[in-house]
Structure 1
Amino acid sequence: MAAIRIIKKYPNRRLYDTEISSYITIEDVRQLIVDGEDFEVRDAKSGEDLTRTVLLQIISEQEQDGEPVLSTQLLSQIIRFYGDSLQGFMGNYLERSMQIFMEQQQQFRSQMGNLLGQTPWTMMNQLTERNLELWQEFQRNLSGGGLGRPATAKPKEAPRETPKTRAR
């Protein structure tokens, strides 16, 4: 397994890619992400991990420059989870949802490439149904009181009265 790529961030805000021994731009870092490269961004002096900060910077720039992915309402809802008792659970849920979405997107592209007879609408309906199932599972887990524990089963219906049982 190859060592993780290290990018050093200097006080002058410049980024240095140790793998290619050259300074790079934030756009170059974005391209590494698009290409599926794993890396860490470290402060050149302290060695502190700055990867999340740089990733958030890239998201911020992408949201400002182009067609936003994250609506104002979604961003507000995410912010409301900070400090909430379910903050960690929400992060895991979002990560899992994104992973499933990416897998479904890959399947969608594969099937579109192979023209297996399904229309794009059918694929999108399947994707929507799967995301709805995930959300319902999330809700059941919350109402079941357990992080990751399924909700309790519904109580069984009482037997129906018959003339024999009514006489008792």
Structure 2
Amino acid sequence: MRLIKKYKNRKLYDTFDKQFITLDDIANFVKKGEIIKVIDDLGNDITQEISLKARLKGKIFGNIRREIIEKLIHGFIKIFKGNTDEFVEILLDLVNQGVLPADIAKELGNSVIKHFNEFNDRIKEDILEIIKSTGFVPKQEYEELKEKYERLKRKCKEGE
């Protein structure tokens, strides 16, 4: 397996040949059937994202009309508003029009939705942490605390 490191400055380093490479080089590795793994500077596996970028570079966007690019951008906006169904419909429409090969549309859809979900989960966690740091708690936790308080109050009254 060929290990490739992606640095913060977006440079890709092939640890096998010990040199910097481009997306075209990655596309060539994949075409030759080489197994690659790409990690970012934190050690996260970003192979799918980089492989997709390598496949898309020059292969598709050079021949796409402006309205198709606008449609894709519209799809990305929809997904960030939480509407994955409409994003998938846009990809299917592009496949049906013969603009995107089905395998690339599938890979693009899976990659974008996966990254969106991870991003969305991190945002939710961050929001909960901010809320908790102010002293507020989620409703379920509040209800549980309220119930404990009521039980303690009843016990105190019984003990009087």
TM-score (norm 2): 0.40
Select the structure that is richer in helix: 2
Between the two structures, name the one with larger relative contact order (CA 8 Å, sep ≥ 6).
2
User: Structure 1-normalised TM-score?
Assistant: 0.39
